[in-house]
Amino acid sequence: GALVYQYPRRTICKSGTSMRMECQAVGFQATSVAWYRQSPQKTFELIALSTVNSAIKYEQNFTQEKFPISHPNLSFSSMTVLNAYLEDRGLYLCGARTGRDTQYFGPGTRLLVL
Amino acid sequence: QQKVQQSPESLTVSEGAMASLNCTFSDGTSDNFRWYRQHSGKGLEVLVSIFSDGEKEEGRFTAHLNRASLHVSLHIREPQPSDSAVYLCAMSNTGNYKYVFGAGTRLKVIA
């Protein structure tokens, strides 16, 4: 079956430091990977969408300088939160998609910033 | 950009009673609708995907979509305390690959 793994599942970093999270698609080819963030008491916001053979598209309020993303092949993507501060805490979700309607979400990486 | 409103914000039902959750959206461009559930501290669990007007059932979960009225609902038959969670609707357009999420409905099922 199709699965999406994310790691770490939970991490703590000091304010001002950076944290890298990874997303692995198993059992299918992730032609696009979307990264979302759920901040405390909020719903999921799309950070950026990475599609094979296309440039990574960042949503308003999110930048490559802050959230650089790598999508080197059809099964793996990573995103780094650079210079993390309190407002960056939350659950980061990776959604890997193949085809028209098949999107699989990972369990998320929960980031705590001290 | 598509906007999604979920109602109610919170809902308490007794075990065994039907639970109904609603989403309205701002325009009819989306063609891919999903209901997810998120237990406290966990990731997303997909419940039902629906792509055309009408009804789609997955076990105890039934989604109804009416794009003309910009509305999609989720009905949970015989809810149990373990169904207590935040329920999120999300939608996207084919080829867009971007999901827009509602703010969620917090469901509590009491025994």
Residues B8-24, mean pLDDT to the nearest whole number: 96
Nearest chain A CA: its distance from B81 CA (Å) = 22
What are the backbone dihedrals phi and psi of residue A5, each rounded to the nearest 5 degrees, phi first? Answer: -105, 145
Peptide bond into A8 cis (omega under 30): yes
Q: Which residues of B touch A93 (CB under 8 A)?
A: 43-44
Name which of B42, B94, B99 is nearest A95 (Cβ-Cβ).
B99
pLDDT-derived band at B28 (thresholds 50, 70, 90) equals: confident
* Contact assessment for residue A30 and residue A24, using Cβ atoms and an 8 Å cutoff: no
* Contact by Cβ (8 Å): A39, A89: yes
Say if CB B37 and CB B82 are below 8 A apart. no
d(CA A76, CA A66): 20
Question: Which residues in A lie closer than 8 A to residue B99 (C-beta atoms)?
Answer: 34, 36, 44, 46, 95, 103
Contact B45, B6 (CB under 8 A): no
**Tens place of pLDDT per residue across chain A (114 aa):** 678 999 999 999 999 999 999 999 998 888 889 999 999 888 899 999 998 878 899 999 899 999 999 998 889 999 999 999 999 999 999 999 876 556 788 989 999 999
Give yes or no for a contact between A108 and A9, defined as CB atoms under 8 angstroms apart: yes
